[in-house]
């Protein structure tokens, strides 16, 4: 065999080896991505069904593939929802012992929940609000006391706290553009591709993203006739303080009348 043919043969063998390694790497990478996405999807399903321990366990497995800050935020959010669920359960048990139900609490207008900020306990009362025009209701924290604007058509309220660092808006609107949960989800994906939390379940779309030094959380419930939306924004350095607030807003948001327009 001539020297030139030998070199050519070696070159072909090396090229085939490199191609084979690239294929193997590509397959492994594809499998990793598939496993990663399956863990996220399964974790999100557990979140939607209120199984927060299972969701946290799967999100933590995701970190073995990638140290993603979005996954870490999802873990913290799941932990806050779990804590809020335990508190609500404890409150419910205490209320039963005192012959008081959650329905009575809502009719009274507020009830208390303890959350932690900078390692000190601070009590927050939640105020029950129902919109007479669109029929939705929600319980918002009494730290949001200052009205930003008055709604002339009665579609909702807009509030902020005393130092203007947190703002909250909840409102209804007629679905004149025939939006669907999927169309709204896709629009929010385009607007906020780096959203730290996003999900679509049935007729509800939930997104959370960072804008400057603020975290913004939006929940939209979509019906054929109307849509109900709440948004809260708050400082990033207070996210652990507001996690419980967000989970309470989410769990108390009731939207029974979205089939109709108003």
Condensed to tens digits (0 to 9), the pLDDT of residues 113-167 reads 333 433 333 567 899 999 999 999 999 999 998 887 666 788 999 999 989 999 9
The domain containing residue 30 runs over which residues? Answer: 3-67
Mean pLDDT of the chain: 80
Query: Among 67, 96, 114, which residue terminates a domain?
Result: 67
Q: Does residue 217 or residue 7 have the better pLDDT?
A: 217
Within a domain: 262 = no
Q: Are residues 202 and 215 in the same domain?
A: yes
Q: Are residues 222 and 138 in the same domain?
A: yes
Q: Are residues 176 and 234 in the same domain?
A: yes
What pLDDT does residue 29 have? 65
Q: Are residues 110 and 236 in the same domain?
A: yes
Rounded CA gap, 120 and 17, in Å?
Answer: 62
Burial class (CB in 10 A: 0-12, 13-18, 19+), 207: buried
Q: How many domains does the chain have?
A: 2
What pLDDT does residue 52 have? 84
Given a cut of 70, whether residue 31 has pLDDT beyond it is no
**Phi and psi angles of residue 196, each rounded to the nearest 5 degrees, phi first:** -80, -25
Contact criterion met (CB below 8 Å) for 132 and 154: yes
Helices (H), the chain: 3-48, 52-62, 69-97, 102-108, 181-191, 239-252
- What value does the mean pLDDT take over residues 219-237? 96
Q: Find the distance separating the first CA and the last CA of the chain, reported in whole Å.
A: 88
Q: Taking the complete model, does pTM exceed 0.85, yes or no?
A: no
Rounded CA gap, 70 and 210, in Å?
Answer: 11
């Amino acid at each position: 065999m001539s020297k030139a043919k030998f070199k050519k043969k070696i070159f072909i063998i090396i090229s085939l080896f490199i191609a084979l390694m690239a294929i193997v790497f590509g397959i492994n990478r594809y499998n990793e991505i598939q496993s990663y996405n399956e863990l996220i999807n399964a974790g999100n399903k557990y979140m939607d069904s209120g199984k927060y321990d299972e969701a946290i366990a799967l999100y933590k497995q995701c970190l073995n593939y990638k140290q993603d800050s979005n996954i870490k935020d999802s873990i913290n959010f799941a932990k806050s929802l779990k804590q809020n669920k335990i508190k609500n359960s404890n409150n419910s048990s205490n209320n039963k012992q005192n012959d008081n139900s959650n329905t009575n609490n809502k009719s009274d207008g507020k009830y208390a929940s303890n959350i932690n900020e900078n390692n000190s306990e601070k009590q927050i009362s939640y105020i029950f609000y129902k919109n007479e025009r669109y029929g939705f209701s929600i319980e918002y924290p009494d730290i949001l006391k200052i009205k930003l604007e008055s709604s002339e058509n009665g579609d909702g309220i807009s509030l902020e706290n005393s130092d203007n660092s947190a703002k909250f808006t909840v409102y209804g609107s007629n679905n004149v553009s025939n939006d669907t949960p999927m169309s709204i989800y896709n629009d929010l994906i385009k607007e906020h591709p780096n959203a730290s939390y996003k999900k679509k379940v049935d007729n509800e779309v939930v997104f959370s993203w960072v804008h400057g030094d603020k975290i913004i959380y939006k929940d939209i419930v979509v019906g054929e006739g109307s849509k109900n939306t709440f948004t809260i924004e708050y400082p990033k350095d207070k996210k652990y303080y507001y996690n419980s607030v967000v989970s309470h807003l989410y769990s108390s948001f009731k939207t029974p009348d979205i089939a109709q327009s108003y």
